[in-house]
Structure 1
Amino acid sequence: MQMIRKWLSEGMATWDTPPDRRTERAAFGKSYRREVPLGAHAEVPPLADRADPVDLLEQQAQDRVASLVPIRYGRMLVSPFTFYRGAALIMATDLAAVPRTALTAQLCGDAHVSNFGLFASTERRLVFDLNDFDETLPGPFEWDVKRLAASVELAGRDNGVKDKARRKIVRECVRNYRRTMRSFAKDGTLNVWYARLDVDDLLASGKGLDTKRARRTATEQADKARARDRTQALRKFTTVQDGQVRIVHDPPLVVPIAELPEVTDPQAVLDELNDQLRAYLQTLTPERRRVMSQFHAIDAAHKVVGVGSVGTRAWIVLMEGAARDDAFLLQVKQAQSSVLETVLGPAAQEEHGERVVVGQRLMQVAGDPFLGWKRMQVIIGQESSVDYYLRQLRDWKGSMPIDQLTPRGLGTYARACAWTLARAHARTGDRFAIAGYLGKSEEFDHSVADFAAAYADLNDADYRALEDAVQSGRVRAQTGV
C-alpha cells in the first residue's frame, strides 16, 4: 500500500512516457535531417517530368459513375483552388517524386483548408477538426503539411491576397504546425489524446479572434453549424407524398430510388438495404448499435457530393424510428482506394470503408457516433460489391467560407488548421521524432512556404490543362451544378 501511495504522489507523467524515450526519439528525429535536409522540402517536380494531369484525372474517372464525371470537372474548373480540391491524386504522384521522410503518421491524405470544419461532440460541444478522410493512410507526415500549405497559398491567391502577405500567412501556418508538434512532444500521451479546439471556449476567450469582425464571423459560423442538424437536413431533403415522408427529387444532385430507371421494385431495394444495414451495425460499439437498431430505412436516394468525390457512389437513406418525427438521414458514401496507395502501397484494411473509419477515429477528436462501414453487394447501379462508410448526414456540421476570408481571417483560420493537423499527427505518429526533426529554427517553415508557392504555380498549369482538354473536346465538363 505504501508503494502505491508513493507512486501516486510522484505522479503518472513519467510512467506514461519515460523521459529517456522522449530524448532518444527526439535525437533520432534531429539526426534524420542528414537523410532528408529541412531545405529539401522546398523541391517540386519539374513540369517537364510530371505525368499529364488530365490523364491522371481520366484514370480516376474510370472507377466513377460516368454520367457524373462532367459535373466533377465543372466544379474543378470554377477556380484553381477548386481544381486543387479535386487533384489529390495529382499531388500524391508529385509528392512521391520529391524527397520524403520516413517519419510517418496517419495522414488525412487531402488536408486542404476546405477539409476542416465544425462538428458536434457526443457531449454536444462544438469542436473544430478535420472532416474528410477518403484518402487517409499512414505516410510521411510532411505530405499533409504540404497539402495544407499549398491550399493556403491557393486560397490566398483566389482571395486576392498580395504576395508578401500571402507568404507570411503560409509561413505562419507551417510554423504553427511545427510549434504545436514541439509542444505536444513535451506533453503526456493522454493530454495529447484529449486535446481539442473547443469552439465555445474559443469564442468565450476570444483567443485568436483579435478583431470584432473575426469574432462576429466565428460566432456566425458556429450558429450556422448548430442549425445544420438532422432536423434541418430532413426539412431540406424530404417531403410528404401521399401521406408518406420521402426524399425530394432534385436531379442530377438528388435522385430517389423510385425515380431511377433501373429500379422496378423500390420496396425490394429497401428490404435488401435494411439487411445490409444490419451488418453495418456490427462495426459500431454496443451502445451505439443499440440506438441504431431502433431505426429502419424507408427511402433512399443517390446524392452528388463535394468536388473531389463527385462521381463516386453516394447515397442518403431516410431512417425512421418509432414515429414519423423520429427520423434522420444516414449518408452511405463509397470508399475507393486512397490516392496515396498508388505510391505508398495498399492499406492494411481489407475494406476501404474500414480504412476510412479507422483513419477518422484515429485522427479526429470527436467523430460521428454512428460512423461505420460495410461492403454492400446490392445498391442500385453497381455490378459488384462496393465498399462504403456510413454516418449521419448532418450533426452540427459547418465550414468556413474560405472565399470570404480577409488576409487576417485567412491567417487565423490557417493557424487553426495547422494546430489541428499537428494534433492529429501527434496522436498517431512518433511526435518526439517529428518534433526533433522539425527543430526550433524556421528552416522547415520557409522550405514548405517555398514549396507551396511553387506548387501553386504547377496547379495553375494543371488547371489550364483541364480547361484546354474541355475546349478541345477531350473531356466534357458540366458547369453550374
Structure 2
Amino acid sequence: MTILATAPPAHRPPRRPAEGEPNGSRQHGSRQHGAGPDAARRADQGRAARASAPRRAHAEYVSAPDRADPIDLIDRQSRSRVPELVPLRYQRMTESPFRFYRGAAAIMASDLAATPTSGLTVQLCGDAHLLNFRLLASPERRLVFDINDFDETLPGPWEWDVKRFATSLVIAARANGFGSAERRGIVTTAVGAYRGWMHRFATMTNLDVWYAHIDVDELAPRLTDALGKQASKRVSRATSRARSRDRLRAFAKLTEVVDGERRFAADPPLLVPISELHTGRDRDLLMRWLSSIVEEYSATLSADRRSLLARYRLVDFARKVVGVGSVGTRCWVALLLGRDDGDPLLLQIKEAETSVLADHLSGSAYGNQGERVVAGQRLMQAASDIFLGWQRVDGLDGHKRDFYVRQLQDWKGIAEPERMDPDGLALFGRLCAATLARAHARSGDSIAIAAYLGGGTTFDRAVGAFAEAYADQNEADHAALVEAVRSGRVSATAP
C-alpha cells in the first residue's frame, strides 16, 4: 500500500487528529461523552495510574538477567505444529529482523510482561505490527482500513499493543536505512496520533465510537487535498489493487480443472491439495473430517449467513502455508462452488492455538481458542468477514483442535513499508495509530486512557525510546536464530 509514500513531514507529535480520521468523529467530536461525575471519576482513575506507572517509565527496556532463551520460546511453539513445516518457519524468520519480529510475538510478550503498565485493560490485538494493518472489504462492499490479524488477541494492557506497533515502525525504518532522527520522528508522530485519537474517542458517545471506521474512498480525497495529484494516483492504484485481490482472482490463481472438475493446483509446500497429502482411505478420511468442520462451524454464523453458506457445495481442500509466525499451524483452504464455476467461495480454516499472551495475563473467557479469536476480531474490527466463525473438532491424531474460519481473500491490500520514504512511513504510522486507538476504544475506557496519556508528549517520547531499545533486542534475537540455524541447533529450509 504505497499511497502514503508522499506524505508531508510529520516529525513532531500532532496536537490535532492525524490523517485517516474515522467516519463519524468530525460530526460528534466536540460533544463531551459522559461529561458528568462518572466521566470525571474515570479521568481521575487514569491520572491516578501515573503514580504506579509514570509515563516516562515506558521508555525503559533492559534485558533481564534471567530472560528466557528466545530460541527456546520459538521452539516451544513449534512442538505443536506440523513437523515438516517448522523448518520453513525458521527459514522465513532468518530472512531479516522484520520477518523475525513477525514470528516473535511470544518472545516480546514475555519481555513486555516485565514492563510497567497503567492497569487499564483493553482487548489486545496481541500482534499489532504494521503489516497487520491493511485494506479490507466490509460486508457492505466498501474498502476500509483496519487490523487484520487476531491470532493472539486477549484482554490486557493497552500499552503492549502500542509498544509492539511502535517497535515495528523502528524495525521497518532501520531496514530502509532511515537515520535515528527520522526514526524518532516517525515513532513519536505515530504514538502522538494514538494519543490524539484516544482523546477524540473519549469525547464521543459509545455508539459513535462503535460506528467509527476508516472508509478508504472517503479518506482518499482528504489525502489528495493534503498531498497533491501524485498522492491521488497512488491512492487510486492501491485501492484498485486491493479490489482486484478478490475471490475470483484467488480462484483463478489457486485452482485448475482436473478431469473436468475444479481442484486446487499444487504449489508445494505453500499449497498442497488433499489428494497429494494422502491417497485412498486416508484421503477419504481427511476429506470427511474437513467437510465436517465446514458443516458444523456454520452453527456459529447468524441464520442468514448459514443460509447463504448452504447454497454452496464443497469441492476440494488443500493445506496452505500462511504468514511467518503462523507457519506450521494447521491451515486449510476449502473450495466451494455455488451456481457454477463463476460462483466460487474460498474459505480459510486456520488452527487457533493458545494466545502467546496467556502465560502473562489472566487468560481468556473462552475455552475454545477459535471462539477467542473470533470474539476478539468482532470486538476490535469495525466490520468483520460475513463468514467468520469457529469450530472445535477431534483431530485425526486424537487431540482436540480449535479452528476459526473466514474467507481466504476479499479485497485485501497489504502495505509495502520497504517502498516508503520517511514521510510515507510516518503517515502510514499515523493511519495505523488511529485504527489501533479506535479498536482499543471499542473495548476499553477511552476516558481513563486519554487522561493517563495527557496532552503533552511525555508518553510519545518514552515509547519512542522503548521502541529503539527493543529493536536492538530484536536484532540480537534474530542473530541468535541465524546462529542456531548455522550451528544445526534448529533446521531451516527454503521452499
The answer, yes or no, to whether TM exceeds 0.5 is yes
Alignment of 1:298-309 (within 5 A): 298-309=315-326
Give 5+ residue unaligned stretches, structure 2.
1-27
- Residue 451 of structure 1, CA deviation: 0.2
Structure 2 residue aligned with 1:449: 464
Structure 2 residue aligned with 1:5: none
Structure 1 residue aligned with 2:445: 430
1:409 to 421, 424, 438: 424
1:120 to 133, 137, 140: 137
Partner amino acid, structure 2, of 1:396: W
Per-residue deviation, residues 423-455 of structure 1 (Å, max 9, x unmatched): 000011011110110011110000000000000
Structure 2 residue aligned with 1:86: 103
Q: Distance in 1 between matches of 2:225 and 2:133?
A: 17
- Residue 376 of structure 1, CA deviation: 2.1
- Compared CA separation, residues 262 and 135, structure 1 to 2 (3 A): farther
**Partner SS, residue 341 of structure 1:** coil
Per-residue deviation, residues 149-188 of structure 1 (Å, max 9, x unmatched): 0000000001111110111000000000001001100111
Structure 1 residue aligned with 2:174: 157
Per-residue deviation, residues 123-162 of structure 1 (Å, max 9, x unmatched): 1110000000000000000000000000000000011111
- Residue 378 of structure 1, CA deviation: 4.6
1:186 paired with 2:214, answer no
Q: Which is further off, 282-291 or 111-120?
A: 282-291
- Residue 254 of structure 1, CA deviation: 0.7
- Residue 57 of structure 1, CA deviation: 0.6
Asked if the contact 1:45/1:97 (under 8 Å) is kept, the reply is no
Alignment of 1:90-239 (within 5 A): 90-206=107-223, 210-239=227-256
- Residue 213 of structure 1, CA deviation: 4.4
Per-residue deviation, residues 107-138 of structure 1 (Å, max 9, x unmatched): 00000000000111111110000000000000
Q: Distance in 2 between matches of 1:218 and 1:50?
A: 44
**Partner SS, residue 117 of structure 2:** coil
Q: Which is further off, 422-431 or 324-333?
A: 324-333
- Residue 78 of structure 1, CA deviation: 1.3
Structure 2 residue aligned with 1:398: 413
- The Cα RMSD (Å) is 1.8
Per-residue deviation, residues 339-378 of structure 1 (Å, max 9, x unmatched): 0001113211010000000000000001111100001225
**Partner SS, residue 344 of structure 1:** coil
Asked if the contact 1:45/1:94 (under 8 Å) is kept, the reply is no
Q: Distance in 2 between matches of 1:139 and 1:455?
A: 20
* Count of residues in correspondence between the two structures: 467
- Residue 262 of structure 1, CA deviation: 6.4
Partner amino acid, structure 2, of 1:37: P
1:36 paired with 2:53, answer yes
Q: Distance in 2 between matches of 1:243 and 1:153?
A: 51
Structure 1 residue aligned with 2:43: 26
Structure 1 residue aligned with 2:485: 470
Partner amino acid, structure 1, of 2:373: V
**Partner SS, residue 338 of structure 1:** coil
Structure 2 residue aligned with 1:8: none
**Partner SS, residue 149 of structure 2:** coil
Per-residue deviation, residues 16-50 of structure 1 (Å, max 9, x unmatched): 84632112101110111001100111111325442
Asked if the contact 1:208/1:412 (under 8 Å) is kept, the reply is no
- Compared CA separation, residues 263 and 182, structure 1 to 2 (3 A): farther
Q: Distance in 1 between matches of 2:64 and 2:33?
A: 48
Q: Distance in 2 between matches of 1:56 and 1:208?
A: 48
Partner amino acid, structure 1, of 2:425: L
Structure 2 residue aligned with 1:281: 298
Asked if the contact 1:45/1:98 (under 8 Å) is kept, the reply is no
Partner amino acid, structure 1, of 2:419: Q
**Partner SS, residue 342 of structure 1:** coil
Q: Distance in 2 between matches of 1:40 and 1:179?
A: 20
- Residue 214 of structure 1, CA deviation: 3.7
**Partner SS, residue 155 of structure 2:** strand
Asked if the contact 1:129/1:197 (under 8 Å) is kept, the reply is yes
Q: Distance in 2 between matches of 1:441 and 1:97?
A: 25
Q: Distance in 1 between matches of 2:165 and 2:349?
A: 27
- Compared CA separation, residues 100 and 254, structure 1 to 2 (3 A): same
Asked if the contact 1:214/1:409 (under 8 Å) is kept, the reply is no
Asked if the contact 2:377/2:384 (under 8 Å) is kept, the reply is yes
Give 5+ residue unaligned stretches, structure 1.
1-10
1:418 paired with 2:433, answer yes
- Residue 385 of structure 1, CA deviation: 2.1
Asked if the contact 1:273/1:297 (under 8 Å) is kept, the reply is no
Alignment of 1:63-74 (within 5 A): 63-74=80-91
**Partner SS, residue 281 of structure 2:** coil
**Partner SS, residue 122 of structure 2:** strand
Q: Distance in 1 between matches of 2:239 and 2:280?
A: 41
Q: Distance in 1 between matches of 2:286 and 2:63?
A: 51
Partner amino acid, structure 2, of 1:66: P
Per-residue deviation, residues 278-320 of structure 1 (Å, max 9, x unmatched): 2211111111111011123211000000001001000000012
Partner amino acid, structure 2, of 1:112: H
Q: Distance in 2 between matches of 1:170 and 1:14?
A: 30
1:340 paired with 2:357, answer yes
Q: Distance in 2 between matches of 1:124 and 1:56?
A: 41
Per-residue deviation, residues 246-303 of structure 1 (Å, max 9, x unmatched): 0011111111111113663544533443333222111111111110111232110000
Asked if the contact 2:246/2:411 (under 8 Å) is kept, the reply is yes
Per-residue deviation, residues 173-216 of structure 1 (Å, max 9, x unmatched): 00000010011001111111111111001112226852544433
Structure 1 residue aligned with 2:20: none
Asked if the contact 2:33/2:203 (under 8 Å) is kept, the reply is no
* TM-score, reference length from structure 2: 0.91
- Compared CA separation, residues 182 and 16, structure 1 to 2 (3 A): closer
Q: Distance in 2 between matches of 1:18 and 1:178?
A: 19
- Residue 79 of structure 1, CA deviation: 0.8
Q: Distance in 2 between matches of 1:456 and 1:276?
A: 40
Structure 2 residue aligned with 1:461: 476
- Residue 324 of structure 1, CA deviation: 2.8
Q: Distance in 2 between matches of 1:56 and 1:265?
A: 34
- Compared CA separation, residues 345 and 207, structure 1 to 2 (3 A): farther
Alignment of 1:360-371 (within 5 A): 360-371=377-388
**Partner SS, residue 339 of structure 2:** coil
Q: Distance in 2 between matches of 1:263 and 1:120?
A: 39
Q: Distance in 2 between matches of 1:249 and 1:137?
A: 36
